[in-house]
Chains A and B, each alone.
Chain A
Amino acid sequence: MSSTSNSPTHHTSTIGAIGAPSRRNTELALLVFAVVIPVFAYANVGLALSGEVPTGLLSYGLGLGLLAGVAHLGVRKFAPYADPLLLPLATLLNGLGLVCIWRLDQSKLLQSLPNFVTAAPRQLLYTALGIAMFVAVLFFLKDHRVLQRYTYISMFGALVLLILPLVPGLGADIYGAKIWIRVPGLGSLQPGEFAKIVLAVFFAGYLMVKRDALALASRRFMGLYLPRGRDLGPILVVWAMSILILVFETDLGTSLLFFGMFVIMLYVATERTSWIVFGLLMSAVGAVGVASFESHIQTRVHAWLDPMREYKLSQAGVQDGTLHSEQAMQALWAFGSGGTMGTGWGQGHSDLIKFAANSDFILATFGEELGLAGVMAILLIYGLIVERGVRTALAARDPFGKLLAIGLSGAFALQVFVVAGGVMGLIPLTGMTMPFVAYGGSSVLANWALIGILIRISDTARRPAPTPASNPDAEMTQVVRPS
């Protein structure tokens, strides 16, 4: 941080060069692809399922195009120097997700399930709301540093959001994880998705203030800088919070996500590797400790270690107090049956996953119908979003912006890893959703807001700096560094 922002001879490295192009037209060209690809995919599903182009193709294409256009105009107006990749990548994922959800809506098997809803129109509505949220973020948040003022309000807000699912009468237990709330007339909400952003704001604000104390006051021991006892306070609090989430909401993913995000931000703020070591140790202790008595977590771990056994238990209808689910194995079969090239849109049988096929498990449908090639492409798109986020953090000129950008990007990466890893059997399953592609209003809204904040920070970062006033003292006041 200190090396780039206050030395005028250095500023070409990561800050956009003076007079750099805004890249808005690049963004528009990419957006065209991001709209056209899902439209073709939509036509493809229709052709595969019923042999004809779906009747909704035109309205769907226009709808998605319109939403992308509005988002683009919003960026053009309110954040003209923003990163040109973020919006097209998010639009592409959202569009493909819509196609996949519509495709699963056509499944007779899913239609026969008791709580089936036609999800695609709702998801389109959520997408519209998400884009509205995105434009609103750009409109109201003219400078991301404003958020710094709300550091402690954010903390309070995040706590409320995290506790909401536990409030009796409001929270809902869906397949063992208590991460939902039911709002009468609105449906279900996953407050954790929003808490992710609010917590990032709080961590960024807090760490920006405390980072020097956390970084400098420490003792060296076995090559590590050990923090002082009282500086351990914040990390202990966040750790305890994660453990409480794990115990009361029984959701490994949310817990991992928040703690991981905090450790990442702490490390970036202090540049002390010891925090990472501490973080890993604490999360290991916490996870093992909780898993030793929480049966829901144990079930998830068993299903991860031996999905076939869980499948057989669920088929046999074994009632032993824990919920046996065939989903983990069904997801693996979906991936395996897709193979390298996939079956093609509409031709797989990922509906066998049944519950949550279009939300938590939606990646399995991509795996089966688009194959290894398709899933790798989607994972790389997520990777690109994260990469643009990290680049934004690098380019940001203020520590708060850096921390916020890396916090949001890191959380995004962790979420993708936790969900995709869970569905693919790399780690135990959790109750989180793939950003943008999975069905769910909270997820779509929160992630569009997240992209909005990243775009805002990148706009600030890439905006041409005012021409530096010629400083006659510059030559005389060189900073002498010990290194």
Chain B
Amino acid sequence: MNKPLRRIAIFCGLLVLALLIRDNWLQYAQADKLRTDPHNRRVTIERFANPRGDIIVDGNPITDSVKTEHGDFKYKRTYKNGPMWAPVTGYSSQAFDGSLLEKVEDGILTGNDDRLFFRKTLDMITGKPQMGGNVVSTLNGAAQKAAYEGLKRQGGKGAVVALEPSTGKILALASYPSYDPSSFAGNTSADGKAWNKLQKKNNPADPMLNRALRETYPPGSTFKVVTAAAALENGLYSTADQHTKSPLPWVMPGTSTQLKNEGPIPCKDASMRVALKVSCNTVFGKIGADLGNDKMLAEAKKFGFDSEQFTPVRSNASVFSDDMNTSQTALSSIGQFNTAATPLQMAMVASAVANDGKLMKPYMVDELQSSNVDPVAKTQPEELSRPLSPENAQILQSMMETVVKEGTGTKAQIAGAVVGGKTGTAQHGVANSANPYAWFISYAKLPDNSSPVAVAVVVEDENANRGDISGGGLAAPIAKDVMEAVIHSKK
């Protein structure tokens, strides 16, 4: 009877061997896949097991973490001045994942990023809980406050972006209406309700839309700065005051349609300086038509059109089309037809002009830190392109400064600084029936010829009187407040 017994012994051994092999497969070969499976609740438990690192503005955190009272997610995110900072921070929610900086820099904030590996290992060895690193932003608290308060005062939808022209640092990034990301940071039914209330289908104002980065508007007359740059760069005109020989009325080539100006303004044979000051559609439309689609497109692309920006938070690509006929190019060159720009894009335009033609890559993360504030990575300013030569940039600056000194942008004047700007009132909707968008883009120059800030403001106001909307009236005061806040915080 012993021979079959030995065989049964081998059989039992094989059973155990099969289990051992299966166990190795599960816990060694498949372990990583199972451990990091997004459905595996441990992934989220781990994520909220320790306080997140903070997002820092002007040396102070604008975020915090608190212990939750129920459930297996230990910590939840809180925000200071949530609605004001929401377009920068985004949200980090136990129930609804995350967005913007919270999402892009999640690895640093949770401490899982490979760059924190050394720290993580050290904490593991010393038995300390894993701590997240900090994200030091480039933003300027005073400028952000001025931007958000300005938009709130207007009461309509809108956005503000302010940049430091010499580096590309984002100083302000506001969007209105906004939301408090603290309100749905947890995992309770109250959080779910707050989230649902903010969704576009339940809230037509769409407060969670980041208008500064993710919404494109027709830029209207502010786009004339790009057209003027194209005229100078392509040698169509070489000075600001050269007569352009523009006829009035001007019929768009290939059509029988006259391009209209807003009111009886002196646009016949006007110089570019005058045309920018009073915002002549005929002059800049003709420049666009004369240069043609390809040259206009090339210049617009140098300013950053038609490509997404990663700040590192992604912004939508602004649009300048590449397949237009002459009349469409003319309309596009005054910021109509298909042309559409994010507020960030128009701030980049102002910034490039102010920085003597050099466009810096916009960014909002200055430094990443480990939990004990050792620097992990620092962002170096990076040149994106040169849409203008320094000489042409200075010509364009003098034109934009005329706009603020004696043109449509007088409300942006600041004592002790030279301001250059351009207003815009962009028409949109079927047959231009919707309320236009009020735009203002500008920069400020200090007496030492440095330029600390360039800003773009857009306000869309469905409640305002159609006549009241003009870039100079609605948007310029906000731009002024933001620029002043930056100048004062520099002192």
| A residues whose Cβ falls under 8 Å from a Cβ of B | 1-4, 14, 108-109, 264, 267-269, 271, 308, 311-312, 329, 332-333, 335-340, 349, 352, 367, 371-372, 375-376, 379-380, 382-383, 386-387, 390, 393-394, 399, 402, 406, 409-410, 413-414, 416-417, 420-421, 424-426
Q: Of the candidates B1, B2, B18, B32, which one forms a contact with A417 in the assembled complex, judged by CB atoms under 8 Å apart?
A: B18
Q: Is the CB of B34 within 8 A of A335?
A: yes
Chain A minimum-CB-distance residue to B21: A426
| Chain B residues with CB below 8 A from A382, complex form | 16
Q: A372-B24, A424-B22 are in contact. Are A413 and B12 (CB under 8 A)?
A: yes
| Chain A residues with CB below 8 A from B20, complex form | 376, 379-380
Whole-angstrom CA separation of A367 from B15 in the bound complex: 18
Q: Is the CB of B39 within 8 A of A311?
A: yes
Q: How far is the CB of A436 from chain B (nearest CB, A)?
A: 16
**Which segment of B40-48, B94-102, B284-292 sits at the interface?**
B40-48
Q: Is the CB of A336 within 8 A of B30?
A: yes
Interface presence of B377 (CB below 8 A): no
Q: Is the CB of A417 within 8 A of B19?
A: yes
| Chain A residues with CB below 8 A from B1, complex form | 1-2, 268-269, 271, 399, 402
| Chain B residues with CB below 8 A from A336, complex form | 26-27, 30-35, 37, 40
Chain A minimum-CB-distance residue to B39: A311
Whole-angstrom CA separation of A180 from B373 in the bound complex: 60
Interface presence of B6 (CB below 8 A): yes
Chain A minimum-CB-distance residue to B9: A390
Q: A367-B27, A417-B18 are in contact. Are A1 and B33 (CB under 8 A)?
A: no
Interface presence of B3 (CB below 8 A): yes
* Number of residue pairs spanning A and B whose beta carbons lie under 8 angstroms apart: 140
Q: Is the CB of B41 within 8 A of A394?
A: no
Interface presence of B23 (CB below 8 A): yes
| Chain A residues with CB below 8 A from B34, complex form | 332-333, 335-337
Q: How far is the CB of B157 from chain A (nearest CB, A)?
A: 37
Whole-angstrom CA separation of A372 from B27 in the bound complex: 6
CB-defined A-B contacts under 8 Å, sample of 5? A333-B42, A339-B35, A367-B23, A399-B1, A406-B5
Q: Is the CB of A333 within 8 A of B37?
A: yes
User: Given known contacts A267-B4, A352-B42, what 11 new A-B pairs fall within 8 Å (CB)?
Assistant: A308-B39, A329-B39, A336-B27, A336-B33, A336-B35, A337-B35, A337-B40, A352-B41, A382-B16, A410-B12, A414-B15
Whole-angstrom CA separation of A394 from B24 in the bound complex: 31
Q: Of the candidates B27, B40, B41, which one forms a contact with A375 in the assembled complex, judged by CB atoms under 8 Å apart?
A: B27
Q: Is the CB of B8 within 8 A of A410?
A: yes
Interface presence of B72 (CB below 8 A): yes
Q: How far is the CB of A352 from chain B (nearest CB, A)?
A: 6
10 closest A-B pairs by beta carbon, nearest first, are: A336-B34, A1-B1, A372-B27, A383-B16, A413-B12, A390-B9, A417-B15, A426-B22, A333-B40, A335-B26
Interface presence of B266 (CB below 8 A): no
Whole-angstrom CA separation of A226 from B8 in the bound complex: 21
Whole-angstrom CA separation of A375 from B32 in the bound complex: 17
Whole-angstrom CA separation of A312 from B39 in the bound complex: 9
Q: Is the CB of B16 within 8 A of A386?
A: yes
| Chain B residues with CB below 8 A from A426, complex form | 18-19, 22
Whole-angstrom CA separation of A2 from B4 in the bound complex: 13
Interface flags for B317-346 (1: CB within 8 Å of A; 0: not) read: 000000000000000000000000000000
Interface presence of B118 (CB below 8 A): no
Interface presence of B13 (CB below 8 A): yes
Q: A337-B34, A337-B40, A382-B16 are in contact. Are A268 and B26 (CB under 8 A)?
A: no
Q: How far is the CB of A308 from chain B (nearest CB, A)?
A: 7
A interface SS class: helix
Q: How far is the CB of B12 from chain A (nearest CB, A)?
A: 4
Chain B minimum-CB-distance residue to A350: B42
Q: Is the CB of A425 within 8 A of B16?
A: no
Q: A336-B33, A390-B5, A399-B1 are in contact. Are A349 and B42 (CB under 8 A)?
A: yes
| Chain B residues with CB below 8 A from A338, complex form | 27, 31
Q: How far is the CB of A420 from chain B (nearest CB, A)?
A: 5
| Chain B residues with CB below 8 A from A386, complex form | 12, 16
| Chain B residues with CB below 8 A from A352, complex form | 41-42
| Chain B residues with CB below 8 A from A410, complex form | 8, 12
| Chain B residues with CB below 8 A from A1, complex form | 1-2
Interface flags for B42-78 (1: CB within 8 Å of A; 0: not) read: 1001000000000000000000000000001000000
Q: Is the CB of B23 within 8 A of A372?
A: yes
B residues 345-381 in Cβ contact with A at 8 Å: none
Q: Is the CB of B2 within 8 A of A394?
A: yes
Q: Is the CB of B8 within 8 A of A109?
A: no
Q: A336-B33, A399-B1 are in contact. Are A421 and B8 (CB under 8 A)?
A: no
Q: How far is the CB of B4 from chain A (nearest CB, A)?
A: 5
Q: How far is the CB of B462 from chain A (nearest CB, A)?
A: 40
Whole-angstrom CA separation of A185 from B42 in the bound complex: 39
| Chain A residues with CB below 8 A from B22, complex form | 421, 424-426
Q: How far is the CB of A324 from chain B (nearest CB, A)?
A: 15
Whole-angstrom CA separation of A173 from B17 in the bound complex: 33
Q: Of the candidates B16, B19, B27, B37, which one forms a contact with A339 in the assembled complex, judged by CB atoms under 8 Å apart?
A: B27
Q: Is the CB of A425 within 8 A of B37?
A: no
| Chain A residues with CB below 8 A from B31, complex form | 335-340, 372
Q: Is the CB of B2 within 8 A of A376?
A: no
Whole-angstrom CA separation of A367 from B37 in the bound complex: 17
Interface centre among A312, A337, A367 (most CB of B within 10 A): A337
Whole-angstrom CA separation of A26 from B37 in the bound complex: 47
Q: Of the candidates A3, A311, A406, which one forms a contact with B8 in the assembled complex, judged by CB atoms under 8 Å apart?
A: A406
Q: How far is the CB of B347 from chain A (nearest CB, A)?
A: 45
Q: Is the CB of A394 within 8 A of B42?
A: no
Q: Is the CB of B72 within 8 A of A332?
A: no
Q: Of the candidates B2, B9, B27, which one forms a contact with A340 in the assembled complex, judged by CB atoms under 8 Å apart?
A: B27
| Chain A residues with CB below 8 A from B28, complex form | 339-340, 372
Q: Of the candidates A109, A371, A406, A421, which one forms a contact with B72 in the assembled complex, judged by CB atoms under 8 Å apart?
A: A109
